[in-house]
Structure formats: structure tokens, C-alpha cells
Amino acid sequence: MNTLECIKTRHSTRKFKADQVSRELIDQVLDAGRRAPSGGNTQLTHFMVITNQDVLQELVTLIQEEYGKMPVFHYNAPVLIVLASKANYANNFADVSCAMQNMMLACNELDLGSCWVNQIRHLQDNERIQAKMRELGLSEDEKVYASLAIGYPDLPNDLNRREIEPKGYPVTYID
């Protein structure tokens, strides 16, 4: 798959098989994220790779309790990569977003489904979520900016790769 094809056919997956993804594949996705550009090449994005199902379940329970009634936020994906960065760094969210896109494209190339999930970011100032994330390795000076749910799609048409023309995104040519 070439790069443009990978970009055009990537779509979010929201139903995953329980099958765990091999460490080798996870590391390829992670490597793609760690090769993303960063402001001033500071490389401050912290990748927290969660494959422990008990920890994932704890996060699901915490988020449900703190968010109120909501469906399982990570769609039962067996892998969740939580991306954090320094809270006082101006390009934190931009750097994290570059890494997220690289990882989503890598997933498409590797026949893995992925979906950006925002709940931990939304709850980044929530005391219970923050305490849990600190326990898992989030530093005192870091905050969570995004998370990526990853796994094998549990859908009849797998990744349902298709090209959809964007309807939004205004473009202005200034010739």
C-alpha cells in the first residue's frame, strides 16, 4: 500500500475482536508514532502502551463512574496507547496529534483497526483518573492528550477500507 492509498482508505474501527495483538506488531505501530515530527524535535510525547486487560477494565470502570452513563469508551480493543506530553509545552497537543496520525496509518498498513478515543483526555484533570494514570507511569508534569484503541476488527468487511470524498474542509486557492 502506498502512502496516499493508506491515507485515503484509513477509517476508524469501533468493534474489535478480543484477540491480542503481538508485541511485534504493537512495536511497529509505536515506532511509527515515535517517528512523527515534533516541534523543535523535542520528542516529548510519552507513549503509554496498555495491553493488561485488568488495567484496561479498571480504566473503563473509572471512566464510566466519572463520566456518567456512556458506552465502553475503548470499544473493548485489546490495546490502548495513551499519549501524554508535558503540560507546560506549547506544542503538546500538536505533537501528540502527529504521532496519532502516524500510528493510525501504520495500523491501516498492518491490517489493524484503530480509533482515536478522547475520554481520558477529557478527564485529564479528574483526580481519580489522574491518580490512576500517575500510578501507571504518567509523570507529575505530564497530561494525557489522546488515546488510540487498537485491535483486529470484528466486522464482516474487516477494516472496510474505502475512499470517501471529504465534504467539509473548505479550501481557498490564492493563485
Ligand X SMILES: Cc1cc2nc3c(=O)[nH]c(=O)nc-3n(C[C@H](O)[C@H](O)[C@H](O)COP(=O)(O)O)c2cc1C
Residue 14 or residue 34: which is nearer to ligand X going by CB?
14
Render the burial of 83-95: b for 16+ CB within 10 Å, e for the rest: bbbbeebebbbeb
Establish if 96 lies at the interface with ligand X (CB under 6 A): no
**Smallest gap from residue 20 Cβ to ligand X (A):** 21
Determine if 9 is a binding residue for ligand X (CB under 6 A).
Answer: no
Out of 7, 9, 14, 39, name the contact with ligand X by CB under 6 A: 14
For ligand X, the closer of residues 41 and 170 by Cβ is 170
CA distance 100 to 140: 22
Maximum C-alpha span of the chain: 56
Q: Is 74 in the site for ligand X (CB under 6 A)?
A: no
Could you tell me which stretch among 6-14, 17-25, 58-66, 167-175 binds ligand X (CB under 6 A)?
Answer: 6-14
Collect all residues with Cβ–Cβ distance below 8 Å to 106 and sequence separation of at least 6. 28, 29, 31, 32, 33
Among 11, 82, 129, 143, binds ligand X (CB under 6 A): 11
Smallest gap from Cβ 150 to ligand X, in A, equals 13
Q: How far apart (Å, rounded) are the C-alpha atoms in residues 85 and 100? A: 13
Asked if 93 is part of the footprint of ligand X (rule: CB under 6 A), the reply reads: no
Reading the block at residue 136, the C-alpha cell is: 501507571
Report DSSP letters for 2-57, one per residue.
-HHHHHHH------B-SPPPPHHHHHHHHHHHHTS--GGG----EEEEE--HHHHH
Instruction: Closer to ligand X by CB, 125 or 175: give it.
Output: 125
Q: Which of 21, 29, 50, 117 binds ligand X (CB under 6 A)?
A: 117
- Site residues, ligand X (CB under 6 A): 11-12, 14, 115-118
